[in-house]
Structure 1
């Protein structure tokens, strides 16, 4: 049986290490795959945008060349003269114009045909066939649509035309009103470009086939360029905005599409890559990640097995020792009793009905029905006690002494504390019961101090009428002991004392005063301020301890914040939260002293490192001598011998504040000294002595820097003096 249990421990260790390796590997692999998937999709979109931008640029260049040719033709003088007055020219003259136009396009296979419509004589001149009447012209429907528009069409029309001698061909038609110098058109120049030649020229320029690229007419939805079978792909697709990307579905096939809308016509350039291409790339990535993950997991299993094998050996020894300890515990009733009390206090008991019998077998007798928990924290003369026998001696001495007074049962707790279940005759802890218990505990404390040089702090939870509620009393006693930093060395504190009036006025005046002394690096006055605070708040014992501990942390933090606002670096090695480790209020006070001293030393280092220039030193000297007068920046600058603007800039650069703010703060500091002095000056008198002509200004600046009015400050000083008396 023992061998099976030990083997089970080994596999538990192996499994725990395996899980510690597998879970992070799986999570990291999934996250990495998702990252690569997103990265790959962005790469597709980036490549598509690059192709579309390039195609758009080259298309615009080709169209611009056609427009440039149209402009050249429109500027032919002979053409413009015939547009203005076609009646004075005969057929020979028009034939010469036709040959001229034909020469312009004869060497360029891109152009299919050019013809000119003369509005005044209602004739059409083509480069191939000559004159036409509009009613007999083979492209009369297109010509009529141009006439209805009255100007150049807004788009480049792709259509099929067929002249009298040539087969039907698909062209891109460009139209320009003539002449370009007139406000009113006297005719139109129409250039027809072969669609297949146009796109062949375009892709020769791009030096690429640009696979999966389509050009769509944004008005009609028809494909201008691309496979015609893709009409269904874009049939219900809405291209909103100037550009975009997304997934579209056609039948059972998905495409990753990116598009860009043309800015010179209604064409939309689209690239649609089959989603299966993206999936093939991601399958390769997934296969690589899976292979690497499997390799890491296999390596992790091997390491887990070796670590489990190494870790199992001391565990195997510990299990055997634990079995021996269990055997010893069965033979030692006091140890069993202590463990039973420990489980009751920590609510580790599964069936309370069996507890009375277990207590009886452990020689623990509780004759009464009322129970409370007493928690004791020992403090040895040597702060670091390594001898466990001394701790056990202290515990047994306390238990033996208290057993003579009332029924109890105790146990050793975590962190070197002692816990006792008190069996009380009367329900509740009234004043007489508390007084009697305090008397017992003080006698015990005195005895321990003499015999073991140990002092004890005690906390007591509420009284309950059932043993299965004892853990609640224990929790209350622990809550009380969490504030032990505010207790005396031998205090006995009941939970009822912690639940009084929680209202506690924050000592803002103490905060301002302490910050003032620290900034002045006056250690003696700072210590006096801390001592006065502990006397009025901590040692007084009339304030709720939980709120008081929070207030101390807030007070020191607020002082540090004020120093920080003044431009000081308050970073020191001490941690303010270490005050929770103080054993009593004396240690807490010493901790605060040390913390304040560290802040003062830090400020001294910074102040000694300040190297004010001669100008700033003279300015500060002038302010501290003439602060009671009505001085301005001009007065200070005149004394120093520089301009006011320059003084303000360098003063703030070196001191962290403007000259007038430095003056205001110095006046308030001198005002505080007058308010704290023995002479009872009125606020008006104090104001005038520090440089303010009226009390309102003094009150306003005082409250700005100190947080309270001078009257409130003086009232608090008076209350402090009264409390001392």
Structure 2
């Protein structure tokens, strides 16, 4: 017998193999090329963005420093007001030293000078002359004519002395004085372009990539790869990215050099094409070998078919049957047998049990008694009962169980728990059906006799026995919820809902116990807003370092325990508490904010992982106490801590004084008013004015609630001499007038 079938098999899919592999190789090469190009573009964009952000950050840092000096340095104000205290020459010398300090603040600053409008004087570290003799006279006139209070100029040439030929390429940061009106003069900070070019050159790799910077007029400012990064139109590679800076209005253009791009692409293409050809050849050889090897059983079958065909056709002259008829007949017989088998086993019994179980308990499918009985018989489950009840077993601390045991061990433990339920029910004369309806929940249906009270007692005994066995023999604990006993199939869904509902309250009722449906019947939807004042008070006390936060935290958890709050309600309230704590802590200094940022994830983890309210309280108290102690230590290390506490105590006892202000406090404690304001904000995270208003308004609210004094009298008692001022402040603080507030209360 020849090998026609071997060649049929081989040449039927060998061309297809070569076609498909060729197309795949081409597609893979194109896809990887596109992906590489895209990744190169993304990397280049990140590179350009990093350089842009570095330049912008350097310029913004200088601007912020200049603003700070203008706002806080009295010598600058004296210069522009032309009102020096003491020796005017020494005061002018102090201003020049101040300018030198500003130049030394940042390596990018080339020079700084002040121009005073009143007498057209210019002062720099090197001279103090009139503007008409100053080398940068034209620039000063241009800036004074500009309506803008702030400018960051394009690249320009700066010359300090008109008679000297020394010139520098700079960009200038100009701010008018005062910052809002700009009538007294200007401050000019010249930033060295050479320093910026050097920084960009240090950050770039001219062999692989290039970057060019252009000003708003399209003039090139700098280019990597040129000598010292200076501007100049040199042959570049492929441009990939253009980024515009909103701060400087500069445009950054970057890309890859052509030499690097050509080398990378060429090597990449040759390697993959060669590899693809090798794989095609190997695939052809392997296919020929496999076809030859797999042909042996086919050859045997075809030999038998051929021999049987000749034997059958011997009695029929001229009629020789094709071997395909026999193959077709055999395949049809196999398909018929397979179809019968699939019809008998089309539904997996285990899956159907679990699916029907969930539909029945959750009420997603309407089931009357007849349908239920037919389904139970088909699933080979008990269909006779007098009373029904649902119970739900929930694994406590399930996240810890997942960390302690592998997935295989968890499945084994769940199987053990299911078997414990069945074996515990048998001595009690109960029939049960248990299925895992969630990763940590085992739902159980109990079939009992007609006596409802006896059924409830048996269900309670079963659940308690299961709980006790698990506690003694397994390394985890369970909490069980038991629904009420029902007499109809359709009513079991209510028993199941009651069992699930009572488990929501295990945080307050306790874990590792049996919870009965009536224990949660007294619960109702809580009015969360009643706890909001206490939450806000706790957050404010914690921010101020007041020990009263501990009592407030204990009171909140006590109310949660006594009020029978569910797990979700507790989580919502604690998340709201975190929100207020975070908002209050963000008012403090950066050092204290850092402590809070460390504790915040731990507080959130405690909310996500707690089982009982006692565990949550212990975790929260420990973490907040640790943060509070560290905050206290940081505050006590400050030199202003003691006096700020004295000032706060003084405000709390003298809030009724209408003359109480930063000025009066500065006189009382022999401190400058601005220093008191700044230190108070850093210490307590709240402006002095806001704190004083809060003290007065809270006291006014108490008086409106507990006394019958008139609004005008109460205003005077909390420090307001005019009733209209008190009413306006009270409405701004509470949203309502004092009269309306008293009516509401």
State the TM-score bracket (shorter-chain normalisation).
0.3 to 0.5
Compute the TM-score of the two structures, normalised by the length of structure 1: 0.42
* Greater relative contact order, per chain length (Cα 8 Å cut-off, separation 6+): 1
Compute the TM-score of the two structures, normalised by the length of structure 2: 0.41
